[in-house]
Structures are given as C-alpha cells and as structure tokens.
Structure 1
Amino acid sequence: MVPLIQPALDASEYRLRPFTLQDAGLVRQASLDPLIPLITTVPANAADEEIVDYIGRQHQRLVTHSGYSFAIADAKTDQAVGQIGLWLKNIDQGRGSVGYWVGAAHRNKGIVSSALDALSTWAIARRDIHRLELYVEPWNEGSWRAAERCGYTREGLLRSWQEVGGLRKDMYMYSRLK
C-alpha cells in the first residue's frame, strides 16, 4: 500500500506540517501535562526514546492509512505549539474524526481555532469525507467553543462515551458536514 502524502497547510499565523525530531521539546512538555497523555497517544512523563517513538508513530499513520498527524507550528519561527490530526478509522463510511491538543504555554491564543479551521477546510474538500466528527469533554469550554467557531455543530451528549484516566467520561459530539 502506498503511504498517504501529508501536505503542509496554512493556518493564519500557524502552519500545519509533519512532526520532526525538532518538536521533541513540545512532546516532552505535553507528556507532563495532566490531561494530554490521558486522551492522546502522548506517553506520560516520556523519556527521550518514548518521544522519538511518538514522533515516529505520527509518520507511521500515513503508512497504515489511519490518518494525518500534524504539528501546529508558528508560521514565522516554525516552533511547534500543538498537534492536530485527521483520523480515518471510519473513512469507508465517509467519516473522518478530528483531535487536537496545544501545549500549556500556548493555550488561549486562538491557535486551536486557526488549526481546526485549516484542517477541517482541507479535510471536508476531500472526495471521501462527507462528515467530520470530534468529541470534547463538557468541561473543556475552550475546545468546544473553538469547534463551534469553525462551523461544527453540537449533536448531543454521549454519556459514558470514553474512558479517560480510568473513569468513564461524557463527551459532547460535534460534526461538520460537507
């Protein structure tokens, strides 16, 4: 199977691009965050080898056709500030799923809105995607407000939807249609 080709996407003051080893500092910071390792594949309290493995797994998603994982980078400095991904688990049914995180030092600056709008516009233009979905814990107001700013509609509350940190958590479900 030929690997997917990952583009670089402009996102206002940011750029979505493949992860590089230069992004190890951001991954290390994310691994120390109390929430990011619980809801993503970032390993908690990551050692150097685990960080390199994480970055490698982001590239492997292209090989397995499971999705696209982008580093969100400052367009001027190329410093990575977060991650956003398009996951293709349900692509055979015309659905893609979106997930994202931003390092603690970079939150509340509109980064998620810029990255989510760019990724969603690119993803929904693909022939094989008719619906984008994302899931957000109800307490995470910044994340669900960003989704709403980017044209996502809250479809409801999924009770006990996902295990996070050993506990079943409710999630808001959002969608954006072609």
Structure 2
Amino acid sequence: MEPLNQPILDAANYRLRPFEMKDAEVVREASADPLIPLITTVPTSGIAADIRDFIGRQHQRLITRSGYSFVIADAGSDHAVGQIGLWLKNVEQGRASVGYWVGAAHRNKGIATQALDTLSNWAIRQPELHRLELYVEPWNEGSWKAAERSGYTREGLLRSWQEVDGLRKDMYMYSRLK
C-alpha cells in the first residue's frame, strides 16, 4: 500500500505543511502546556529525543495511512504555531476526525479557525470522506467557537466520552458534512 501524499495547504496568513525538525520549539512549548499533552500525543517532557520521536511519528502517519499531521506555520516567517491533523481511523465508513492545538502565545488570534477551515475544505473534497468529526471539552469555548466558525455543527454532548488525565470527560461532538 502506498503512503499518503501530504499537500501543503494555504490558510490565509498561515500554511499547513508537514512537520520538520525546525518545528521542535513549538512541540517543546506544547509539552509544557497544562492541557495539550493530556489530549494529544505531544510528549509531556521537553526532552529533545522525545520531541524528535514526536515529529517522526507525524511522518509515520502518512506511511501507515492513519492520517495527515500538519504543522500550522506563519505564512511569512514559516514559524510553527500549532498543529492540526486529519485522522483516518474510520475512513472505511466515510468518516475522519480532526484535532488541533495552538501554542499558548498564539491563541485568540483566529489561527485555529483559519487552519480548521482550510483543512476541512480540503478534506471534505476527498472522495472517500463524507463526514468530518471533532470532539471538544465543553469548557474549551475557543475551540468549539473555531469549529462553529468553520462550518461544524454541534450534534450533542457525549457524556463520559474520553479519559483525560485519569478522569472521564464529557465532550461536545461536532460534525461537518460533504
């Protein structure tokens, strides 16, 4: 089976592109965030080897066809500010899930909305996908507002949906249809 081919997507002031080793600093910053490592695969340590392994795993997703992991980079400077991914676990059923994070210093600037809108527009045009899903904790207003601004519809509250930091958490479920 052929690996996936990852495009570079223009997201207005940002670019969605594959991770590079020069993006280690944004991963290190995210590893110190109180939430990001709890709900993503970002390492909890800022150790260089763990960060290299994380970046390597993002490329491995293409080889295993499990998804696309993009760094969100400033279009002018190419400086990484976050991550967004399209995860293909349920692609056989025409579904994919989306996840994203933005570094603390870059939040509340519309970056997640731009990245999510761009990735979603690209993803929903893929012939095998009919539904995009994302899950957001109810307290994370910035994230669910980005989803709504990007055309996602809140379908409901999934009670005790996911374990986060050893506790079962409720999640809002959002979808965007073809």
TM-score (norm 2): 0.99
Q: Deviations over 1:72-101 (max 9, x none)?
A: 000000000000000000000000100000
The Cα of 1:131 is off from its aligned counterpart by 0.1
The 2-side partners of 1:141 and 1:33 are apart by: 17
The aligned residue for residue 8 of structure 1 is 8
Q: CA deviation at 1:136?
A: 0.1
Aligned to 1:174: 174
Instruction: List gaps (5 residues or longer) in structure 1.
Output: none
> SS of the counterpart of 1:2?
coil
Alignment of 1:155-166 (within 5 A): 155-166=155-166
Structure 1 stretches of 4+ with a deviation exceeding 6 A read: none
AA matched with 2:35: L
Partner in structure 2 of residue 126 of structure 1:
126
Within 1, Cα distance between the matches of 2:5 and 2:45?
31
1:68 equivalent in structure 2: 68
2: CA distance, partners of 1:45 / 1:10:
31
Distance 1:110 1:16 in 2: 15
1:102 aligns with 2:102: yes
* Deviation of the 1:46 alpha carbon: 2.7
Q: What is the one-letter code of the residue matched to 2:23?
A: D
**Residues 102-126 of structure 1, C-alpha deviations (whole Å, 9 max, x = no match):** 0000000000000000000000000
Q: Give the share of equivalent positions with the same residue, in percent.
A: 76
The match for 1:77 is: 77
Q: Tell me the equivalent position of 1:39.
A: 39
AA of the residue aligned to 1:43: P
TM-score, normalized by length of structure 1? 0.99
Matched, 1:19 2:6: no
Query: Does residue 150 of structure 2 align to residue 150 of structure 1?
Result: yes
**1:98 is aligned with what amino acid?**
V
Say which SS state the counterpart of residue 10 (structure 2) adopts: strand
Find the counterpart in structure 1 of residue 91 from structure 2. Answer: 91
How far apart, CA to CA, are the structure 1 residues paired with 2:45 and 2:59?
A: 21
Task: Output the CA distance in 1 between the equivalents of 2:27 and 2:145.
Answer: 25
Query: 1:126, 1:3 → 2: CA distance?
Result: 16
Number of positions where the alignment pairs a residue of Structure 1 with one of Structure 2: 178
